[in-house]
Amino acid sequence: MMTPKKSLQEIQLDLQSGDYSMSELVDSYLQYAKKHESLNIYIELYEEEVKKQANRIDQQIKNGAQLGALYGCVISIKDIISYKDHGLTAASKILDGYISPYHATAVERLLAEDAIIIGRTNCDEFGMGSANENSIYGPTKNGADEHRVPGGSSGASAVSVQMNTCLIALGSDTGGSVRQPASFCGVYGLKPSYGRISRYGLIAYASSFDQIGILGHGPDDIARVLEVSAGKDPMDATSASRPIDRYSADKVISNPKIAYFSSLIDHEKLEENIKNNFLQILEQLRSSGASIVEKGFEFADYLVPTYYVLTTAEASTNLSRYDGVRYGHRSESSSTLEDMYVNSRTEGFGKEVKRRIMLGTYVLSEGYFDAYFTKAQQVRRLITEEINKVLEECDFIILPTSTSLPWRIGEMKEDPVAVYISDMYTVLANLTGLPCISIPSGNNTDGLPFGIQIMSKKYSEHDLLALAKSLKSATT
């Protein structure tokens, strides 16, 4: 079985020189997907159409026709992003049988540049989770150790890249769902600035936090996919009209000033081996000419509570549309309209989603609105001001990606709060709307991957990817 190459540039050169055809390339991805079926990566593989599309590209190469910027790029999409005429469930029973009537803008843009979508990947229901265990399709397993979780909610997206079943995965990141699984599976994961990629066609979880994110083997491929998918979209009023940089162009970042927060690194929840790996990376950066600045940050213990108050509030509103009337699952055991709403939602939503709808409804209720929702909004503003102040002085902020290494499947099921706390380092980028990338930073002695995050000023994805690139060449 042919092992697919790991960069789009190499793939395109190979296709042009006839080393292999696009059809052979997709065959090998499909074979890898089947070989690793037991990891539960794909909800659906689009085998027949993928083969047809590959054939078309082979014909075009043969005829010397002009091809799009992403020919040769095979992408998996999380089952939360719309792909016209394909099933879409957000891993929830409530959307059972739903077929997407339109493309997400990001998907449309990728297809227009000749990317091929190989299938839709498993995830946590509506993106709610950190381990890919909250899915009607069952858990996805980590390719580094199949007794362990791949992270979440875009867990299967990360495994799809980790196990060479595609080159790129499109996920979504509301509080770390692209970066944390990337870190658990030893791949790269970028959450762009809020508004950089249109959210049109992305099933909403918490609208002021959600962003489509990109997972891949390296910053170069991610840059090329970002270049195509980013940009203003009339269908999403929150998409940024700022021009798109040429993220794939080389850029030198010399002697960057990088901040880290002692309160986050000395935090009791951070596992010792992750802390040591983090400190090692700091040393490496220092010796390659970066100045490392230690900063105080007084909001360490407010990150997770602020995130969960605000996202559950937004989720309770966003998920009110699933009422048994408009989409997917409708209960058959109801005699009145009211009953039908209640029964459809009771039968359709999983436990974690119900927990969050209830929490969100509570913090938005009349007697508690100011104490929780308004307060959390104020804290969000304070956190954002504080971080932006640090980024006026420094170019980047560096953080661990997760407080822990991938845990055993089932191990944390009964302790949702402990799982929430493990999101401490990733939610910061969503609370502030800033771009952030998770970079693989080694493995422990059992082969479990470590990851670190780098965050930068709003819309400075080019700098972020350039720094990630220089770190990659220093470590490989």
List the catalytic residue out of 130, 160, 177, 404. 177
Q: Listing from the earlier edge strand, what are the strands of the sheet with 257-261?
A: 42-45, 116-121, 74-78, 168-173, 211-216, 188-191, 436-443, 449-456, 396-400, 257-261, 291-295
CA pair distance 139, 53, nearest whole angstrom: 30
470 has catalytic annotation: no
- Would you say 41 or 45 has its CB closer to ligand GLN? 41
- Identify the active-site residue in 82, 100, 135, 153: 153
Work out how close the CB of 89 gets to ligand GLN at its nearest, in angstroms, rounded to a whole number.
15
Q: Which residues contact 263 (CB under 8 A, 6 or more apart)?
A: 296, 297, 298, 300
Q: Least separation, in Å, of the C-beta of 69 and ligand GLN?
A: 28
CB atoms within 10 A of CB 441: 22
Cα 9–Cα 177–Cα 3 angle in degrees, nearest 5? 35
Which pair of tokens denotes residue 324? 């048994």
Piece of the chain touching ligand GLN by CB under 6 A; list 66-74, 126-134, 317-325, 393-401: 126-134
Give 193 or 248: the residue with its C-beta nearer to ligand GLN. Answer: 193
Amino acid residing at 424: M
Least distance CB 27 / ligand GLN (angstroms): 32
Strands 74-78 and 116-121: parallel
Residue placing its CB nearer to ligand GLN in the complex, 311 or 456: 311
Considering beta carbons, is residue 130 or 165 the nearer one to ligand GLN? 130
CB of 46 to ligand GLN, least distance (A): 24
* 127 in contact with ligand GLN (CB under 6 A): yes
Q: Which residues is 397 bridged to in the sheet?
A: 259, 455
The yes-or-no answer on residue 153 being catalytic is: yes
The residue within the footprint of ligand GLN, chosen from 221, 423, 461, 463 (CB under 6 A), is 423
How many Cα atoms within 13 Å fall on the side-chain side of residue 361? Answer: 9
Stretch that binds ligand GLN, among 125-133, 264-272, 377-385, 468-476 (CB under 6 A): 125-133
Residue of 153, 183, 306, 343 that binds ligand GLN (CB under 6 A)? 153
Q: Which two tokens stand for residue 374?
A: 């308004």
By rule CB under 6 A, what string of x and - marks binding of each residue 289-328 to ligand GLN?
Answer: ----------------------x-----------------
Q: Is the dihedral of CA 37, 411, 399, 423 positive or negative?
A: positive
Q: Annotated catalytic, 78? A: yes
**Binding flags for ligand GLN, 169-188, as an x/- string (CB under 6 A):** ---xxxxxx-----------
Closest by CA to 40, choosing from 153, 118, 144, 157, is 157
**Site size for ligand GLN, by CB under 6 A?**
14
Q: Which is nearer to ligand GLN, 209 or 322 (CB)?
A: 209
Residue 216 in contact with ligand GLN, rule: CB under 6 A: no
Q: Using CB atoms within 10 A of its CB, is residue 442 exposed (0-12), middle (13-18) or buried (19+)? A: middle
349 makes contact with ligand GLN (CB under 6 A)? no
Q: Which is nearer to ligand GLN, 74 or 270 (CB)?
A: 270
Cβ 57 to ligand GLN, closest distance in Å?
33
220/314 with CB nearer ligand GLN? 314
By C-beta, is 4 or 129 nearer to ligand GLN? 129
Helix (H, G, I), strand (E, B) or coil at 191: strand
| φ, ψ dihedrals at 188, nearest 5° | -90, 145
Asked if 130 touches ligand GLN (CB under 6 A), the answer is yes
Amino acid identity at 328: G
- Helix, coil or strand: residue 295: strand
How far, in Å, CA of 424 to CA of 21, rounded? 44
Regarding 205 and contact with ligand GLN (CB under 6 A), the answer is: yes
- Give 107: exposed, middle or buried? Use CB within 10 Å, 0-12, 13-18, 19+: buried
- Which of 28, 76, 78, 141 is flagged as catalytic? 78
Query: Taking the complex as a whole, how short is the minimal distance between the CB of residue 224 and ligand GLN, in angstroms?
Result: 23
Task: Report, in Å, the least distance between residue 221 CB and ligand GLN.
Answer: 21
Q: Cβ-closest residue to ligand GLN?
A: 177
Which amino acid is residue 117, in one-letter code?
I
Pick from 72, 119, 129, 186: which binds ligand GLN (CB under 6 A)? 129
Is the alpha carbon torsion for 89, 94, 97, 101 positive or negative? negative
135 prior amide bond cis, ω within 30 = no
Cβ within 8 Å of residue 382, ≥6 positions away: 299
Nearer to ligand GLN, 290 or 434 (CB): 434
Q: How far is the CB of 363 from ligand GLN (least distance, A)?
A: 15
CA distances for 418 relative to 179, 357, 414, angstroms: 18, 19, 9
Instruction: Identify whether the C-beta of residue 154 lies closer than 8 Å to the C-beta of residue 78.
Output: yes
CA distance 317 to 117: 31
Least gap, CB of 444 to ligand GLN (angstroms):
22
Residues 105-124, one symbol each (x = binds ligand GLN by CB under 6 A, - = not), give --------------------
Helix axes 22-35, 8-17, angle to 10 degrees: 130
For the annotated catalytic residues, the residue numbers are 78, 153, 177
Can you give the binding site for ligand GLN, defined by CB under 6 A?
127-130, 153, 172-177, 205, 311, 423
